[in-house]
Every structure is written in structure tokens, then in C-alpha cells.
Structure 1
Amino acid sequence: MGELKFFLELQIKQLKDGTFINQQKYIHDMLKKFGMENAKPMATPMAINVKLTLEREGDSFDSTKYRGMIRSLLYLTASRPDIMYNVCLCARFQENPKISHVEAVK
């Protein structure tokens, strides 16, 4: 069957030092899917001064697309546990996401 290289969107590399797992291809495909190929990388999982709240007013965003973004990020936590808190914080607003919530996800 050969050496295992991909399994459930996880890239697996087996070396003498050990087995390494990453999701680089999944991340690239996710960015392409949501039109964020040219997005700038950040050193922290979320902007520092962002305070997310339940907004009654403001421009709404497509909740289906927002849920897709959250779902993709939740799957990404398999190899990136450092983003778990931020993803769960953004997941609270899936019912009626606003533009400010989408900016935090991006």
C-alpha cells in the first residue's frame, strides 16, 4: 500500500526523528474556499484589542458561510490547539453573525 502521506486532511511525514502531522494543504484549500488567499498572516491567533459582543444592530453576514468558516477552523484545531479558544469565542455568534464577527474570524 505504501507510506501513509494523507489521512483525513492531515499531512503525515514519517522521518527517523518521528512522525510529523500538519494541515498545510487543508489551510491553503480553506483560504482559497473563503477567498482569503492574499490575507496577511498574524503572529497571534486573533487581534489583541478585539472585543466580540452580541450585536443587535449592524450589517449582518451570511450565517451559512460563517458556520462554514467556523467548522473549518474547528477541524483545524486538530493540529493547531492554540487557536481553540479564539475559534470557540467566534462560534458563539453563529446564529446572527455581523461583519465584526467575520473580521475577527479572518
Structure 2
Amino acid sequence: MVTAASFSPSAHDPSLFVHTSPRGRTLLLLYVDDMIITGDDFEYIAFVKARLPEQFLMTDLGPLRYFLGIEVSSTSDGFYISQEKYIQDLLARAALGDERSVETPMELNVQLRASDGDPLSDPTRYRHLVGSLVYLAITRPNISYHVHILSQFVSAPTSVHYSHLLRVLRYLRGTNTRRLFFPYSSSLQLQAYSDATWASDPSDRRSLSTYCVFLGGSLIA
């Protein structure tokens, strides 16, 4: 259908298809049976939406509000994306057993090692929670570094690693309403910054590289 409608697959994302015309650009993002259609060629968007039901049994849910666990809300100044419900579901699965929250996702200058603590008898929950946090970092890039550290130990997590994982979850409990804001007035200029330590890993003395990417004034990675 997407090729018949003159969409071209994106070179950067196999689930993204692009149609360009003199009127503008139409983007179609597809994941299994969920789809987003957007762009500035409103005439072509209406054409595609009219053609799709001829080929597939589908429902038009209107303006984008929820997609794959990501919540979207619009205002007169821009739009917000968040994963508040996703966080609530994650906390429910984690079953923390208390209502505490913390101010930061990880203590300063923590250096975790593979040998810290006792091995978990069943690492399944640790792996599941870390994998969920990786996806959560889409709208909460401020936890990306901490999730990166914790993901280094998914093959053989210990009680110490798990305690630091629970701290990240308690931080999210206290900040679950935070959102990313993309103002309409923002430029579409990408800016990237990077830094690196020198031989900072306590296990193998490797350096740690870091980066952040902004779209206009909004942190996206």
C-alpha cells in the first residue's frame, strides 16, 4: 500500500515512509497494526486516509494522543510527549513494597563492578526492568546514563546492581509527570555535544564517552 501510494522508505528508519510533493511532505510511521500519518501536505494526508480503509479494516483515532506507550498532548505553544502511564505500569510490575521516592536516579560518583554483591538467584526481573527503562529513556533522556550503567550487568546482575535499579524506579515515582516539550517556535536545527572521561571504568580502565542531542531547544537523545 505504501509503495502504491508513492511513499519511499526512509534510509534512517525501516518503519518510516516519506512522500514528497510540491505541496509539502507526508510522513507515515508504521509499527505492526499501529500507524501515524503526519506532515504539511494536508491534501495528500486526506487522500491516504481515504484510501487506507479500502485495503484494510482500520479505525481513524483522530489527532495523535497515544502511541506505543508514548502520550502526546498539544497546546497553543507546542506539544508534550511523556510516558506517565508507562511509568505507572512499570512501578506496578516492579512491586517496590514502599512509597519512597528519591531526588536523583543515582548517587554521585557511583562506580559499579560486576563483582559487587551477591548474584541474583533469578535475574529475569532485573533484565525485564532494565529493558523497560531503555524504552522509557525515549521521553526521559535524563535517565539514559544510569540505565546504560545498569544494562552492563544484565548477564549476571547482583543484589547491589538491583538496589541501584530500585533507586532509579523510586526517582521515577517522584518525577513521573515530567514531560518533554517541543515548542512550535523552536528551530529544527540539530545540535550535538559530547564529552569523554579518561580510563574511568574501574574494571577495564576504558574511557566513557557521552553525548546529548538537541532539536532546537529540546533534548531528544
- The separation in 2 between residues aligned to 1:8 and 1:80, in whole angstroms, is 15
Output the CA distance in 2 between the equivalents of 1:41 and 1:24.
16
Q: Match for 2:153 among 85, 89, 93? A: 93
Alignment of 1:55 onto 2:101: no
Q: Is the contact made by 1:5 and 1:11 (CA closer than 8 Å) also made in structure 2?
A: yes
Query: Offset of 1:59 from its aligned partner?
Result: 4.4
Q: How far apart are residue 47 of structure 1 and its match?
A: 2.3
Q: After the TM superposition, which residues 76-91 of structure 1 pair with which residues of structure 2 at under 5 Å, given as runs?
A: 76-91=136-151
Could you tell me which residue of structure 1 aligns to residue 128 of structure 2?
Answer: 68
Counterpart of 2:57 in structure 1 is none
Q: Find the partner of 2:88 among 23, 28, 41.
A: 28
Q: Which protein has greater RCO, CA pairs closer than 8 Å, 6+ apart?
A: 1
Quote the residue 1:105 is aligned against: 165
Mapped to 2, the partners of 1:97 and 1:37 lie a distance apart of 20
Give aligned pairs, total. 106
Q: Which moved more, 1:55-64 or 1:17-26?
A: 55-64
Structure 1 position 19 matched with structure 2 position 47: no
2:74 equivalent to 1:8:
no
Aligned residue identity for 1:82: N
Over alpha carbons, which structure has the higher Rg?
2
Greater strand fraction, Structure 1 or Structure 2: 2
* Cα-Cα RMSD: 1.9
Distance 1:23 1:96, change over 3 A: same
Q: Give unpaired runs (5+ residues) of structure 2.
A: 1-60, 167-221
Q: Distance in 1 between matches of 2:136 and 2:94?
A: 15
Structure 1: gaps spanning 5 or more residues: none
TM-score by length of structure 1 reads 0.88
Q: 1:46 maps to what in 2?
A: 106
> Aligned-pair distance for 1:41?
2.2
Question: What percentage of aligned pairs have identical amino acids?
Answer: 33
For 1:50 and 1:28, the matched residues in 2 are separated by: 27
Please report the TM-score for the alignment, with normalisation by the length of structure 2. Answer: 0.44
Shift, 1:14, TM fit: 1.0
Runs of 4+ in 1 over 4 A off after TM superposition: none
Report how far residue 39 of structure 1 moved: 4.0
By how many angstroms is 1:95 displaced? Answer: 1.1
- Checking the alignment, whether the CA contact within 8 Å between 1:63 and 1:97 is kept in structure 2 is yes
Could you tell me whether the CA contact under 8 Å between 2:106 and 2:164 is conserved in 1? Answer: yes
Deviation of 1:57 (Å)? 6.2
